Structures are given as structure tokens and as C-alpha cells.
Amino acid sequence: MYADETGNLDYSPSGKAGATDYFGFGTAVFSQDHGEHLFGGLQLRAKLETIDGLSLPKGFHAVDDSKKTKDEMFDVIRDQAPRFDTTFLLKASAYPNVKQRGEMYLYKMAWYLHFKEIALQVSNLHDDLYVIVGSIATSGRKAQAQAAIEDVCSQVNRVIHLCHWDACTSWGLQVADYGLWATHRSLMGRSCKWFAPCVQPTLQSVFTPWGRKT
């Protein structure tokens, strides 16, 4: 299971520069032949660098990649067909006591609401579940974020092997990023030609426990 987050953690009003309506997590789960998936990602990256002349020193990132790169990336995602799940918290609907507990509480709550359900759905009691979580970008919050993730994982009755990796080092995290990005755009009513053919067929959940923006 690869997990990526979306949105900022403060409760700034909509319209402020950098503000997002939702904060949430998305996961991509691969269950079989994962070595082939990883090799497929390596092949795509090498092909785009050596044949198409692109520079991808940090791999793929949906927000920054060109439409042509997205075309290629989503084609591979469609073929690999990982299971996608997403959880989005509408920050405007947060209770005052939740807001008062700060930004990292929001981060932990989003992970808890997502992981406690999906971990049980994608694994059995005696499985080894490898959970790779993308490192949070802000270095000052990194240790707090890792502690929050670890505490939630310890509450789930599964054999969990937890890793914190930078997204640029992991094909699976880049796939999770792409799936979450496309699903977020669909949730917000924005155009995304790749969502229906490449993500939606294996998207198992779009959980919005705090409601949706109207």
C-alpha cells in the first residue's frame, strides 16, 4: 500500500492563495506481480528520458508533469490497475474543537479515517501489509507526521511494515499521487480526461465523512 496526501493543513478560507477546500489521503494497493509493476515504471521513466528527451530526475508528479507525460503515465496506470481508495475531509465542516487541536491533528484524523478501513479491506489477519507513506514536505512537521502515522497503524489489527519514503524515490508513491490527483479533480468538478478510463475502474472508495463542497 502506497499512501499520498493532498491539500494544505491550515483552515484558511477558500480563495486564499494556496488554500484548499479538502485535506485527504489516497492509496494505491498492489497485490500481485509487483516486481513487474516496478519494472514497468522504470521502463516508462527511462523511455521518456532517452527517447522523448524529457528530464525526470525525481520521477513523476501529477501537478507538475506535462499533458504528454500524463498521457504516458496514465496509460501505464490503466494497465497496472492498482486498487485506489481516497478520503477527503472538507475543512470548512470541521468542528471547532477539531480546529483547535491544530494542523497535525487534521493530518492524523485523515489518515485514521482512511487507513482503519482500507487496511482491513485489502489484507487478511496474517498477511504482511507493507505500507509506504510519502514523507511530508515540510521538514519541521516530518517527525510529527511520522509519529501520527505510526500511532494510527498501531491501532489496526494487522501485521504492518511501515516505511516513510520520499515520493521521488518510489514508483508506487507516484502512482498514488496520480490517482489521488485525478480523483480530487473529479471531486471538485474539474476537467480530467484520464479519470474515467484510467483511475475510476479500480477506484474503490471516495470517502467524504465531513461532506462535500456544494
Model pLDDT, residue 12: 77
**Parallel, antiparallel or unpaired: strands 2-6 and 128-134:** parallel
Neighbours of 51 (CB within 10 A): 8
Model pLDDT, residue 137: 66
- Ordered by where they begin, the domains of the chain are 2-207 (3.30.420)
Model pLDDT, residue 178: 98
Model-level pTM?
A: 0.95
Model pLDDT, residue 204: 98
Please give the DSSP secondary-structure letter assigned to residue 194: T
Model pLDDT, residue 14: 65
183 to each of 93, 96, 179, how far by Cα in Å?
20, 28, 6
Model pLDDT, residue 15: 58
Model pLDDT, residue 141: 84
Model pLDDT, residue 136: 81
55 to each of 47, 58, 60, 62, 75, how far by Cα in Å?
11, 9, 10, 15, 19
Which of the residues in the chain have pLDDT under 70? 13-18, 137-139
Model pLDDT, residue 5: 95
Model pLDDT, residue 197: 98
Residue-wise pLDDT for 103-123, tens only, equals 999 999 999 999 999 999 999
Model pLDDT, residue 74: 98
